[in-house]
A and B are shown apart, each in its own frame.
Chain A
């Protein structure tokens, strides 16, 4: 009979092993820089953001008004047809209360990332952004929100030209 094969191998390192100095590691910090061209659709999107407007693209075939805008419809696989201004209001499609920053710091006050379904675009067409000026416990799916724009002089043609979204008070 052949011996039972050893199926599980490997050497876990714990804090003690690391402190004992028996292990070696080499560190490297990549210093790469990129300049991403923003393309036809998103260049226009960013230019409009700088003017304090949201713009979408429509496809005549599937009748969708799409945001973020794109030069081709991924469903019909044909060119999109027209630029369509949409509103800077929308509804919270989904959200989270996030207590961890992008670099894994703990936050006392949570960030509120959300997908905002944009008014004037097709149903379900949302963009990723953040919600502020509301108690975290009060945020709900379906809540109406509006974009709060940075002052015109401070806009740079970025999604961050919208500082955040806040609930529309009735």
Chain B
């Protein structure tokens, strides 16, 4: 199959904030502007726009895609919103990738935005509506349930201790101290995490990412333009996504097979056979602490049930053998849903170009993977990026 090679040539984001003065549209504009500036490009060099944004219910603006279009640079351009819940931020890059890889467009601007603070008194109420409206909502569930139920199953299946889960919060919140956009960087101990309020056992408060306002943006370009305008394009080597059944109470829960399938789709495209050896840096989705471990296993970067041990051994530290979430992740930088996933792509872009400042992982990483997750605990979205042009 002939398709054009595609690279990320620019990236930008707003601060991630508990509550922003800016409107969703202004947040989108600030992120888009930062990405354009970083690539030294103007909007007239952009052929199409991809918007990623999660449920309208958070911003409270119906048809948010249309509302946000001007802030995304969508004026008189092909413009399309995509949405796979929390998986949106990484999926949006895959969608922009096929816009450009197909040859239909030379460049694409990807913008992801979320403003959760508008939902009063707390965006939790909007999460209620993700559960099945007939068979589950009458039980008055909340979002914590679904994560706690999955974490319990994960821990029980592999005999994982809570300390091993808490270690993810410690690492990511500490990494976030070095991120200029971070909302919740902190220097904590495992003890601090375990001493924090039990929200829904086994989930403690410091194992949960915050709700946030923010936006992120990246620019994709086809190979000819990428080579011309960028001295260090970050090539998209593979993309993958996969959805499991919405009957989540019929699923295994201990292992995210849909993430494995999405990962292999991306790895095959990238020519990766041994992910653990061929990937230098990973940004898996970490809305809750255990999810990072769960996803690392789905991404084939740790054997089933073994991610906690590798973390305890220091493998996933920023200076470890496989740095994981050097950005600080959703737990530390913040979680404006779709924007948080795209923030992970921004991080790979900066890390692969050696521009991550104090967050920079040593050893000049050549290849990284970003992953997001969402819908009703059922979607895996994966992008592999590297310094080498795909074959």
Q: Write the chain A residue with the least CB distance to B153.
A: A94
Beta-carbon contact of B153 and A97 below 8 Å: no
Give the distance to chain B from A42, nearest Cβ to Cβ, in Å.
Answer: 5
Q: Would you call A108 an interface residue if the criterion is a C-beta within 8 Å of the partner chain's C-beta atoms?
A: no
* A100 and B199 within 8 A (CB): yes
Per-residue A-contact encoding for B1-21, CB less than 8 Å = 1, 0 else: 000000000011111011111
Query: Which residue of B11, B128, B156 is within 8 Å of A94 (Cβ)?
Result: B156
- Tally chain A residues at the interface, Cβ within 8 Å: 53
Of the candidates B120, B124, B136, B200, the one whose C-beta lies within 8 Å of that of A159 is: B136
- B249 in the interface, Cβ–Cβ < 8 Å? yes
Can you list 12 contacts pairing A with B, beta carbon distance less than 8 Å?
A: A5-B38, A7-B13, A8-B15, A10-B20, A13-B21, A23-B21, A30-B60, A68-B135, A93-B153, A96-B148, A96-B149, A100-B199
Interface centre among B18, B30, B131, B201 (most CB of A within 10 A): B201
Q: Pick the contact of A74 from B19, B21, B247 — CB < 8 Å?
A: B247
Q: Which residue of A lies closest to B121 (CB)?
A: A104
Residue B63 interfacial (CB < 8 Å)? no
Q: Which residues of B contact A126 (CB under 8 A)?
A: 249-250
A100 touches B133 (CB 8 A): no
CB < 8 Å neighbour of A100 from B40, B139, B200: B200
Q: What's the minimum C-beta distance from A8 to chain B, rounded to whole angstroms?
A: 5
Instruction: Write the chain A residue with the least CB distance to B355.
Output: A7
Closest Cβ of chain B to A50, distance in Å, is 14
Contacts of B250 in A (CB 8 A): 66, 124-126
Interface centre among B21, B145, B150, B197 (most CB of A within 10 A): B145
Chain B residues 96-151 with CB under 8 Å of chain A are 120-122, 124-125, 128, 131, 133-136, 138-142, 144-145, 148-150
Contact status A9-B15, CB under 8 Å? yes
The reply to whether A9 and B34 form a contact with Cβ atoms under 8 Å apart is yes
A94–B22 touching, CB < 8 Å: no
B13 touches A101 (CB 8 A): no
> Is B152 in the interface zone, CB < 8 Å from A?
yes
For residue B245, CB closer than 8 A to chain A, the reply is: yes
Interface residue B181 (Cβ < 8 Å from any Cβ of A): yes
Q: Does B192 contact A (CB under 8 A)?
A: no
Given A94-B150, A98-B148, A113-B141, decide whether A12 and B15 contact each other with a Cβ distance below 8 A: yes
How far, in Å, is A70 (CB) from chain B's closest CB?
8
Residues on A with beta carbons closer than 8 Å to the beta carbon of B145: 96, 98, 113, 128
Q: Is the interface of B mostly helix, strand, loop or mixed?
A: mixed
B188 proximal to A (CB < 8 A): no
CA A42 to CA B247, docked complex, whole Å: 13
Q: Residue A130 contacts which of B11, B139, B199 (CB distance < 8 angstroms)?
A: B139
Q: Counting CB contacts under 8 A, is A167 at the interface?
A: no
Give chain A residues whose Cβ lies under 8 Å from the Cβ of B124: 102-104
Nearest CB of chain B from residue A62's CB, rounded to whole Å: 12
A31 interface residue per 8 A CB criterion: no
A128–B141 CB distance below 8 A: yes
0/1 string, A103-142, CB within 8 A of B gives 1 = 1100000100111000000001111111000001000010
Contact of B21 among A11, A93, A110, A159 (CB under 8 A): A11
A95 beta carbon closer than 8 Å to chain B: yes
B70 within 8 A of A: no
Residues of B within 8 Å of A11, CB to CB, are: 17, 20-22
Please give the distance in Å from A5's CB to the nearest CB on chain B: 4
Interface presence of B198 (CB below 8 A): yes
A98 touches B121 (CB 8 A): no
Question: Which residues of chain A are within 8 angstroms of B199 by Cβ–Cβ distance?
Answer: 98-100
On whether A36 and B156 interact (CB within 8 A), knowing A10-B17, A95-B149, A104-B124, the answer reads no
Q: B187 near A: Cβ within 8 Å?
A: no
B193 at the A interface (CB under 8 A): no
Do A159 and B203 touch across chains, with their CB atoms under 8 A apart? no
> How far does the Cβ of A56 sit from chain B's closest Cβ, in whole Å?
11
